[in-house]
Amino acid sequence: MGRRAFLGASLFLLGGISFLRRRQALPETTFRSVLFDNPEFVRALGAEVRKSHPQLVGAQRSPARLPDLLRAHSGAIEHDFEKGNLLSIDGWLVSVTEARICAAV
Amino acid sequence: MIRDSAQVTQDVRCDVCIIGSGPAGLAVALELRKAGKDICVLESGGLEYEADTQDLYAGASVGWDTPLPLDGSRMRYFGGSSNCWAGMCGILDEIDFIPRHWVAHSGWPISKAELLPFYRRAADLLGVTQPIEAGTFAGNGSLAELDLDRKKLETKYLYGAAIWRVGNEYRETLSRATTIDLILHANLTELKVNAAGTSVVHAQARSLSGKAFKVIAKRFVLACGGIENARILLYSNSVMKTGVGNGYDLVGRFLMDHPLVPMASLLPERGDTRVPAYNSSTLITRKSNPLFACVTFSEQFQRDNQVLNSAVYLIDHDEEFGEGLQASVRIRRSYLQGTWPENLGTDLWTILRNVGEVAPAVYDRLTKNRAVRRRLAVKLQAEQAPNRNSRVLLSDDRDQLGLRRAQVSWQISKEDRTSGEKLVKLFAAELGRIKAARVQLDHWVSQAEPLFPDDLRGGEHHIGTTRMANDPRTGVVNTHCRIHATDNLYVAGSSVFPTSSWVNPTFTICALAIRLADHLKQQG
């Protein structure tokens, strides 16, 4: 590979990486709380919901991913906060819908 | 002029004798000076801190598990407790002045409107440049208010005073003043009243070295702080056995402070720019135009839910700071406050040892990539419900002057806790609703017991012990801050507040002191 080709390929690669990073940084259209970024925390929260609020737990675990579930139920979560449908799980104030989701995944 | 009690060769005669040279006493003195009154100010200490004088403030603290420190929370030398003041200024809310049927003993006999002009003059005295009546983040860069549901919660502001140490600031003025006689090392040992207890005849003063003299004045102003004002009235009992102005057993009662306690921690949402604006730990270091945002219940919510006027604010969560960052914060604060760091060598060494922790934080700061996701603590600054049994008494111990020391029984009630708990829960729900942050309540908040955890502290704001009321059966002083039972003894300071609000008291103390001075100017 000649020097010119190498520089061209490098620039193309850097541009591509930069573009992809930029795409990743674009804001999500649906809000998802930072609280659910940590999988370990979500697992612990789910376990606590199953233990202290069994009535919120469905019969089957959901095969869907947590971010998808949170996105799909973002309207219900907002509604919970508007209406005060909240629970304290290990001190964290979460919406009832969020608690159900954490218990299901 | 400023002189030492050792230089006093005869009894002093003046128009007004002011006892205490803290913000309240100096505010009265500086105002009266404009009217050409002859003023004598008695100051127990010297121009600087002295341990033996400070020891006169020692006393017993009983009652609440967390004792109210008596000698560390007040300063007994020129400038008074402004020497340990953080400079937070705020005006009381409208609802603080109104009788609230759900708060026993609430309501001031004066209105907020009546006090507003004096707040403006207090702003001049303390160098507060913000528009005090309409708090706003305007002028503070990109800071933005939380869009809270105003039917429930409101943002309120405290302003940083440019003049904290009133003694230092006004020392030169007092030195040059020909009508002010400031006498240092002059402890008030008794307010001597006539046989009927209706008039102060003279103030008896004495230095620790034994120099004694009298001050004979037309009027006397007690300006020694919420604990000492009550103590002096109680120990001035050679004529009236229960003390001066204590015919209805009210002197020393209704002691309040602002219970301060962390109640929750908070995790700001990604990229949120509103929550950091409420972080007092950040804002306190702003050199110019400092502004502190708190969140309180709206007035309507207080009425509808019968809660106290408490506030929450945010601070850095200690757990998020390692040793290195804590050391760098101490150095930075000292620098911005214009003081020399207390343990500079140790702190620098701590930073070096923890450079791995400090360097990324410095990088974040320099690149404006503030650690927005860093946890913050939610701290309560509570209004206390007035309580007759929370009080200042005289102990059996005596100080170097032979005077009975103070014994403080600071009582905290269930209402104080209930309102704070409701506030932090509402705040947590609101932050979730507006997608600003998520909140984790501290463990004890969800438990019925204890009422408050061990790390509860008072704000060192001693309030209510000579409360103001129209009726002598319900208050010690009248609306002019004159002791009901006497015709020439007045009180300046937070001891006259009938209720505590959530607001730091010094600004209101100064406003009331200036108002009192205006009243005294009109007297013969």
DSSP state for residue B278 in the 8-state scheme: G
Task: Say whether A82 and B445 touch across the interface (CB within 8 A).
Answer: no
Task: Say whether B429 and A88 touch across the interface (CB within 8 A).
Answer: no
Which residue in A90, A92, A96 has the most chain B C-beta atoms within 10 A of its own C-beta, making it the best mutation to test that interface? A92
pLDDT at site A7: 56
Count how many pairs of residues, chain A against chain B, have C-beta atoms within 8 Å.
48
Classify residue B93 by burial, with Cβ atoms within 10 Å: 0-12, 13-18, 19+: buried
Which ranges constitute the DSSP H helices of A53-95?
66-72, 74-83
Do B371 and B263 meet the contact criterion of CB atoms below 8 Å apart? no
Task: Say whether B441 and A82 touch across the interface (CB within 8 A).
Answer: no
Give B432's contacts in chain A (Cβ within 8 Å).
Answer: 33, 81, 86, 93-95
Chain A residue whose CA is closest to B426: A84
Contact status of A95 with chain B (Cβ, < 8 Å): yes
Give B428's contacts in chain A (Cβ within 8 Å).
Answer: 93
Nearest-CA distance from B148 to chain A in Å?
12
Distance linking the first and last C-alpha atoms of chain B = 23
Nearest-CA distance from A38 to chain B in Å?
13
Single-letter residue type at B261: V
pLDDT at site B288: 56
Give B433's contacts in chain A (Cβ within 8 Å).
Answer: 78, 81-82
pLDDT at site B191: 98
pLDDT at site B396: 96
Give B269's contacts in chain A (Cβ within 8 Å).
Answer: 31, 33-34
Give B425's contacts in chain A (Cβ within 8 Å).
Answer: 93
Please name the member of A27, A81, A94 whose beta carbon is closest to the beta carbon of B433.
Answer: A81
Task: Say whether B270 and A34 touch across the interface (CB within 8 A).
Answer: yes
Per-residue pLDDT of chain B (524 residues; tens, 9 = 90+): 999 999 999 999 999 999 999 999 999 999 999 999 999 999 999 999 999 999 999 999 887 666 677 877 899 999 999 998 888 899 999 999 999 999 999 999 999 999 999 999 999 999 988 777 665 555 455 567 889 999 999 998 888 888 889 999 999 999 999 999 999 999 999 999 999 999 999 999 999 999 999 999 999 999 999 999 999 999 999 999 999 999 999 999 999 999 999 999 999 998 888 887 788 876 554 455 567 889 999 999 999 999 999 999 998 876 556 778 778 877 876 776 667 887 889 889 988 988 877 887 776 666 544 444 478 999 999 999 999 999 999 999 999 999 999 999 999 999 999 999 999 999 999 999 999 999 999 999 988 888 888 888 888 999 999 999 999 999 999 999 999 999 999 999 999 999 999 999 999 999 999 999 999 999 97
Do B378 and B424 meet the contact criterion of CB atoms below 8 Å apart? yes
Distance linking the first and last C-alpha atoms of chain A = 50
Nearest-CA distance from A80 to chain B in Å?
9
Please name the member of B373, B432, B446 whose beta carbon is closest to the beta carbon of A91.
Answer: B446
Which ranges constitute the DSSP H helices of B164-312?
166-176, 228-235, 280-283, 299-305
Tokens coding B154? 């409101």
Q: What is the DSSP string of B310-332?
A: -EEEEEE-GGG--HHHHHHHHHH
pLDDT at site A40: 85
Contact status of A63 with chain B (Cβ, < 8 Å): no
Q: What is the β-pairing status of strands B212-222 and B489-491?
A: parallel
Give B372's contacts in chain A (Cβ within 8 Å).
Answer: none
What residue ranges of chain A have pLDDT lower than 70?
1-30, 59
Give A84's contacts in chain B (Cβ within 8 Å).
Answer: 429
Residues of B contacting chain A (CB within 8 angstroms): 264, 267-271, 373, 425, 428-429, 432-433, 435, 438-443, 445-446
Tell me the C-alpha distance between B454 and B495, whole Å. Answer: 26
Task: Say whether A91 and B269 touch across the interface (CB within 8 A).
Answer: no
Task: Say whether A34 and B269 touch across the interface (CB within 8 A).
Answer: yes
Task: Say whether B433 and A88 touch across the interface (CB within 8 A).
Answer: no
Give A82's contacts in chain B (Cβ within 8 Å).
Answer: 433
Please name the member of A27, A78, A81 whose beta carbon is closest to the beta carbon of B429.
Answer: A81
Task: Say whether A93 and B438 touch across the interface (CB within 8 A).
Answer: yes
Give B439's contacts in chain A (Cβ within 8 Å).
Answer: 92-93
Task: Say whether B435 and A31 touch across the interface (CB within 8 A).
Answer: yes
pLDDT at site A27: 45
3-state secondary structure of B288: coil
Q: What is the β-pairing status of strands B404-410 and B200-206?
A: unpaired
Which residues, in sequence order, are bridge partners of residue B380? B261, B312
pLDDT at site B73: 82
pLDDT at site B67: 67
Give exposure, B96-133, as e/b (b: 16+ Cβ within 10 Å).
bbbebeebebbebbbebeebeebbebbbebbebebebe
Task: Say whether B441 and A84 touch across the interface (CB within 8 A).
Answer: no
Chain B residue whose CA is closest to A83: B433
Q: Which residues does B360 contact at the CB level (< 8 Å), separation at least 6?
A: none
Tell me the C-alpha distance between B277 and B269, whole Å. Answer: 14
Which residue in A28, A31, A32, A34 has the most chain B C-beta atoms within 10 A of its own C-beta, making it the best mutation to test that interface? A34
pLDDT at site B71: 76
Task: Say whether A93 and B443 touch across the interface (CB within 8 A).
Answer: no
CA-angle at B46, arms to B60 and B225, nearest 5°: 45
Tell me the C-alpha distance between B464 and B388, whole Å. Answer: 10
